[in-house]
Amino acid sequence: MPRRLALFGGFVLVALVTRAALLGVPCLDLDEAAQLTVARELARGATLYVDVADNRPPLLYVLYAAASLAGGGLPGVRLLAALVVLPLTAFAASAFFRHDRRGALAGLLYLVYGAAYLAHDMHSVSPELLMLLPLSAALALAREGKPADARRLLAQGVLVGLAALVRQHAVLWLPALALVAWSADSGRRASRAGRLLLLGAGFLIPLAACVLVFARLAALPELVFWTWTHNLEYARNPLPATEALARAASTLLPFTLATAPLWWAAWRSRPRLGRSWDVLALAAAGSLAGAVLGLRFFPHYLVPLYLPLAIAAAPATLEALEARSRAGLVAAAWPLAALAGFTAANLALYGGKYRVYEETRPVFRRIGERLRADVCHGAGPLFVWGFAPQLYVESGMRPASRYVMPQAPLVAYEPGNRASRSAPSDPKLVRPEHQQRLLADLARSRPAFVLDTSPSGLHGWDRHPLGELPGLEELVHDGYVAVGDVDQVWIWRRKGCDQTPRWP
């Protein structure tokens, strides 16, 4: 036990050191800001998908809500992930080899390689990163040599079900665990079909519990829409072949180069892993399939690949290191060089003159300062017309509507589809009932401020003026007065709000 505690402590230290340079960045990715805004509302008692909506499964917000209650903001979310989520995932990778030297190396490979890429996607606390915690535990339970008894199979299924309530793509790991259940030697306890049924039953338990909870909250249709229907529409949103190829070239190629020693070592480890190699290969294939869905190839979609690659690469990497061969030198130097190079590049991207991400623009901080200094700050919530949830985080104001990131189904905005910004909007993406819900939200909450980001073009919102949503422009012009702009983001203040009691 003391050795395992020391191993876990080492993983905590490595997770902190490899991510320390970017922990304090106000916002690495706008999805972080949206998820924190939703979690803050949930911590105040809001009903998910009804009072505040996002297209991600419910368990994602647990970590964000914990950091929100602690008052840590987005840096606090990342710190909590580095202290708990990442080390526990690495510890589960180590458990795959019963915490021997291969296991310790697998955990280290996961932590170091996982930080040696673009911070926008790999250092931000994405659903994929959190999803890996229960998936890694399921993989550790399914390691070769463990009996496939009923409790173990049920536990594996439950863990995948929990992971799917963080990110839907977790279901793509079920074939890997099904292979273990099918091929495991369990004596007379259960047939192969029975073992698969136990795994499937375990998987369905968390999903059934989730359905029952949201049915009790009278929010089941909203759960289905936001976590299933909306995401299906997003995934099948067509991309031109040229854009899909360009995205693949700019994401998959550098990722493959950065992780090349892992792929090589994973392949070399096949004889040493036996049937476990097939399981890890299926888990990696499922992760890759999830990254390809929708052909957007966002780098954070690739995060789940790190875990099966690191575990599969550990035996051959350890052998090369112990032999002190040229391959061992590459195995040691490559991830450290990649980590140093990407850390320097990430610092330049977020803090230097080469800023390329819109999250680094000072407009968010400046608007937050402007709103906090306004006489009407505290007289009501905030409504942001645009794809910019950072403005809720920077201002510290509550959202006036359930739509934290207005997009389809409110307007024909297609996130992750650059070509759509110069093409005619697809009216099939818009749902009038959601437009009416937005207007009803605003009429009920009477926001103190409305921020119109369309003149600024933040995150491609310049094609969606207030007038695109029927009734919104009239509501703003009748009840609000323009008090100026910050970098072409217009601030509208509610008329007479300085006479309004402070908003809770």
Structure tokens at 69: 């209650």
Bridge partners (DSSP) listed for residue 242: none
Contact of 69 with 55, CB cutoff 8 Å: no
Hey, CA dihedral for 341, 345, 346, 351, is it positive or negative?
Answer: positive
Other Cβ atoms closer than 10 A to 324: 10
438-456: pLDDT as tens digits: 999 999 999 999 999 999 9
User: What is the model's pLDDT at position 144?
Assistant: 59
- CA–CA separation, 456 and 46 (whole Å): 31
Q: Is omega for the bond preceding 399 within 30 degrees of 0, making it cis?
A: no
The torsion defined by the Cα of 445, 447, 448 and 452, in degrees rounded to 10, comes to 180
pLDDT of 477 strictly over 90: yes
Structure tokens at 298: 């966002």
Which of 2 and 197 is assigned the larger pLDDT? 197
Cα-trace Rg, the chain = 24
Structure tokens at 235: 């995934």
- CA–CA separation, 225 and 232 (whole Å): 10
User: What is the model's pLDDT at position 418?
Assistant: 66
245-280: pLDDT as tens digits: 877 788 888 888 899 999 999 999 999 888 889 899
Confidence of residue 146 (pLDDT cuts 50, 70, 90): low
Mean pLDDT of the chain: 89
From the list 339, 391, 341, the residue with the least C-alpha distance to 363 is 391
Q: pTM score, two decimals?
A: 0.92
Where does 293-431 have alpha helices with state H?
306-323, 326-351, 363-373, 390-395
483-495: pLDDT as tens digits: 999 999 999 999 9
Residue 383, phi then psi, degrees to nearest 5? -120, 125
User: What is the model's pLDDT at position 422?
Assistant: 58
Contact of 425 with 461, CB cutoff 8 Å: no
- CA–CA separation, 289 and 296 (whole Å): 12
Structure tokens at 339: 């980590």
Residue 458 one-letter amino acid: L
Which of 420 and 222 is assigned the larger pLDDT? 222
From the list 410, 384, 389, 334, the residue with the least C-alpha distance to 490 is 384
284-315: pLDDT as tens digits: 999 998 888 766 778 888 999 999 999 999 99
- CA–CA separation, 227 and 240 (whole Å): 25
Confidence of residue 63 (pLDDT cuts 50, 70, 90): confident
Residue 206: which H helix or E strand, with range?
helix 192-216
Instruction: Tell me the residue ranges of DSSP E strands in 365-471.
Output: 382-385, 449-452
Quickly list DSSP for 253-287: HHHHHHTHHHHHHHHHTHHHHTHHHHHHHHHHHHH
Q: β-strand 489-494 against 449-452: which pairing, if any? A: antiparallel
